[in-house]
Amino acid sequence: MADPNNMSDEEKMAAEWASMEGGGDQGGGGGGGDATARVLNQDEIDSLLGFDAGGGGDGGTSGMQAIINSALVSYERLPMLEIVFDRLVRMLTTSLRNFTSDNVEVSLDVITSTRFGDYVNSIPLPAMLAVFKAEQWDNFGLLTVDSALIYSIVDVLLGGRRGTAAMRIEGRPYTTIERNLVERLVAVVLGDLSASFDPISKVNFRFERLETNPRFATIARPANAAIIAKLRIDMEDRGGRLELLLPYATLEPVREMLLQQFMGEKFGRDSIWEGHLATELWATDVDIHAVVDEQVMTLQDVLDFKVGTRLMLNATPESEIKVLCGPESLFKGRMGRRGQNVAVMIERKINKYEET
């Protein structure tokens, strides 16, 4: 018989099953099919499905875990959006200090992408969800204020003493006073958010409504992608979290701008390059042609041309001459002579729609 200490995990499991099967035959009177039935425990189920309970060092996934992960969507990174949220943090710090007359610190915890349905299901309740609309982009966003921040704002604005944590009363809905104070907070945040997007695009975020049930704050399909920025607001020993959700559909009108690595890549002006380009353009030589007349002829007539063939032009000394640069018509004027040279006196500029 093999030494149990030298047996692998698979061999131990097989031996255990064999012993249970043998015990079932003895107790079941000789081989009933139900005697071998056995319920797997969680470790065995994880092993069969490919889950590594020990969190293996290679970090790889296999089996059912790989199939589950294949359903996750990896969304593109928007570098300029990170700059926008950094501006929001700086502006919000100043605005909330003026709003609460207290020492407020705002920090950006994380910017991540997720599905809208997954985020709504993960919102810790109770909370207040402010639905707002980006008017110029014609779409919506969501601002979530957790209960800790709600009671902290109420406590600060209504004169609560410093050094005492805001008390949370369980089992009751938010009062009208609390909702009004949170709406004022949301108005401050949306104002700073609009100002943060000014270098990218002029947009006004307008407050729509305040909800306490996530089902009533649905602004996108559950499977739609969204950007979430999680902010931490600290007022000495009080504070809470503020989460800003912007669906990718909302950001689509400015997506190309948000993909830029830095502001100058799209909006900056290089005066040195502009001056160099202007200098080179003024020194560029171009060929222009003065066309006296144009005629439409058949290919056969052209092939019959011989030395000495005359072409009669429908032009007189007073006819207008067209001046072209390549295929583009530029001016019209009169032909004449200046000294020993044939010249054209420009009379007017040709409108680009005149030829059509």
| Choice among 92-96, 258-262, 293-297 with the minimum mean pLDDT | 258-262
- Please tell me the predicted confidence (pLDDT) of residue 29: 46
- Split at pLDDT 50, 70, 90, the class of 320 is confident
Least confident of 36-45, 111-120, 191-200: 36-45
Other beta carbons within 10 Å of 124: 10
Better pLDDT: 90 or 273: 90
239 vs 168, 174, 178, CA distance in Å?
12, 18, 15
At 142, the pLDDT band (50, 70, 90 cuts) reads very high
Q: What is the pLDDT at residue 317?
A: 75
Tell me the mean pLDDT in the region 335-342: 84
Q: Residue 76: what pLDDT?
A: 58
Q: pTM (2 decimals)?
A: 0.54
Mean pLDDT of the chain: 77
Token code pair at residue 285: 């030589």
Give the span between the Cα atoms of 179 and 219, in whole angstroms: 21
All domains in the chain, ordered by first residue: 4-52 (no CATH), 79-265 (3.40.1550.10), 285-349 (2.30.330.10)
Span 246-262, average pLDDT: 82
Encode 191-225 in three state secondary structure: HHHHHHCCCCCCCCEEEEEEECCHHHHCCCCCCCE
pLDDT band, very low/low/confident/very high, at 53 (cuts 50, 70, 90):
very low
Q: What is the mean pLDDT of residues 75-79?
A: 68
Provide the 8-state DSSP code for 310: -
Beta bridge pairs of residue 325:
328
